Structure 1
Amino acid sequence: MSARPPANGISKSIPQPIVDIRLASLEASEKVVFGPLSFYQPLIDRGETPVFMGIQTCEPGYFQPMHWHPYTECLVVLEGEANAWLIGKETEKKRGKAGDVFEFPPNVPHAFEVAGQATVRVLGVHCSPVRIVHFVDSSLVMKNGYQVLDEQLAPTY
């Protein structure tokens, strides 16, 4: 890796690698079907960064079953409104709207659902190079980090 001269304000003792910006295109991303009411589009997913990111689109009536991750997960609400809650706190649902961020602590089961009759889009930020999901209901099968509801809809990702 070659280095370029330091930019203004950057210590001369820190070599700056020559790199390029990676543009992740939503339009070009693969759609991973989560069932008839939702799909996921991974964006930053190569395992080469400390985060995994993707956009999930959910139609009215969608419910994400109780699950957990061994790291912090943040959901940025881009469109619509969603409810989210932690296990044991089902009566304390938090309502998020466009611009809000849900932060789920590591190793704590949580769930979310579409609130209302509008489509919801969330940007999921997994604080891990790979997406790891554990469902409380062990009958929910996983394939490559994604829930499999039906073999016909099984993610090929």
Structure 2
Amino acid sequence: MNSTSPHSGIVAGSDIRIGSGRSRRFVGAEHGAEVSYFFVENQPGEGPGLHWHPYPETWVVIEGVASITVGEETFVAGAGDTATGPAFIPHRFTNVGDGVLTIIGVHASATIIQTFLDED
């Protein structure tokens, strides 16, 4: 495959890993892309705190079961399901299954901008 820009190519998972786990943070602007994402693996009960973005977010559940809250609505999504949340609306997800939750959070932005509402 020929590169068409200085940013074309593969981004190794190890280059965007968060901490020592398997979760990853891809910031599109760093790689010539107009989208960003989190690839998350959470244990039962885990998930990010309530937060919002100035752009929409889309979640794709790869494995497990997630309780996803967007604004006043909470719903359950399982493997193969896709959910969306609009810009500026607080949201969160939590692993409500018995095993690992693998979920991708696609950010409609070349950068990731998050404002947490319930930071410890």
Higher relative contact order (CA 8 A, sep 6+): 2
Question: Is the 1:25–1:43 contact (alpha carbons within 8 Å) kept by the matching residues of 2?
Answer: no
Q: Which runs of 4+ in 1 moved over 4 A?
A: none
Identity %: 26
TM-score by length of 2: 0.81
The runs of 5 or more residues in structure 2 that have no matched partner are: none
User: Which is greater in Rg?
Assistant: 1
Report the residue type matching 1:31 in the other structure: R
The runs of 5 or more residues in structure 1 that have no matched partner are: 1-17, 141-148, 150-157
TM-score by length of 1: 0.64
Equivalent residue number for residue 124 of structure 1: 105
**1:126 Cα shift?**
0.4
Aligned residues: 114
1:1-157 correspondence runs (5 A): 19=4, 21-26=8-13, 28-33=14-19, 40-45=23-28, 46=30, 48-87=32-71, 89=72, 92-137=73-118, 140=119
| Separation (CA, whole Å) in 1 of partners of 2:51 and 2:26 | 21
Question: Is the 1:83–1:112 contact (alpha carbons within 8 Å) kept by the matching residues of 2?
Answer: yes
CA RMSD in angstroms, aligned pairs only: 2.2
Question: Is the 1:81–1:97 contact (alpha carbons within 8 Å) kept by the matching residues of 2?
Answer: yes
| Separation (CA, whole Å) in 2 of partners of 1:110 and 1:39 | 23
